[in-house]
Homo-oligomer: A and B are copies of this chain.
């Protein structure tokens, strides 16, 4: 008689109905959407398909104690849109695989879906299918994102060449500081400056527009998103392109609130920002001869800051220059480590 309160009370079919009721009407390029064995989609004209998948696991990627359901849903889609952005792709559709414990409240599932669909709507992403499964363990939200791009506009990790400039979007280390502040509370005297890092952690903004512009203008030689930290991004880009990189520590853009937080934790802000994950900013390289193309991109991206932090070298290593010398960038976040 009353609304079922837990996933176990509601059942699989009721959960699927809950999701379907929240979906906007399907556009005409979706021939078969949610509710059949598979989705059937008209490809975008004269483009290549782009696919990525990434899972969020409760206790590993988020803690329900301080992550609202809407933020969990937002992040589950954002990490995938960030991967599409790093390829220069335009997002189109997503598949949603929910692995849920029976004790989870239906209202929390609704919140997760609402957070995901709000971000989807802003980027015109259609949820075209998925599945709901039970588990005896933590929540797993696995999203597959589908995008498109034109031939020769893919931003791979492999095109950086010695002499290219190294750029990064937004602010680095904010999500790590925000996560720290959420997990450990706000120490006395720091106050409101943590709101921006906390928002950076809870609701990261995938840099879809920047990625599209870099790809369309062929302004970048290589690109990666910073899911596992700037240090990891620098190493991955260097390895994939077969080059080295040197970054000037003091040029790394660290937001004031994040800098305050790291300092309050007696951590060096630059090293903490390098190591911290979950920023979902774009790290990319620009050839000197493409500077004018990149200038056009900068005029079109609006308020999003982009910062030059270093240059590509030919020595095969990713290094950082501090006032005191040069050292390896170190490791980023790696699962099982």
Which A residues lie at the B interface, using CB under 8 A? 7-13, 15, 31-32, 35-43, 48-55, 57, 59-61, 83-84, 86-87, 89, 93, 95-97, 99-100, 102, 128-138, 140, 142, 144-147, 149, 154, 156-158, 223-225, 240, 334-337
Contacts and interface: CB of A to CB of B under 8 A. Distances in A.
Given A60-B134, A131-B55, A154 B41 contact: no
23 contacts: A11-B335, A12-B334, A13-B334, A36-B158, A37-B224, A37-B225, A38-B52, A38-B89, A39-B51, A40-B50, A42-B48, A51-B146, A53-B97, A53-B129, A53-B130, A53-B131, A53-B142, A54-B131, A55-B97, A60-B136, A95-B144, A137-B137, A140-B142
Nearest to A144: B144
Closest 6 A/B residue pairs (Cβ)? A137-B137, A38-B52, A37-B86, A12-B335, A144-B144, A142-B142
Nearest to A139: B137
Contacts of A95: 51-53, 144
A55 to B, nearest CB: 5
Contacts of A8: 336
A140 B97 CA distance: 11
Contacts of A57: 99, 133-135, 137
A41 B49 contact: yes
A157 B60 contact: no
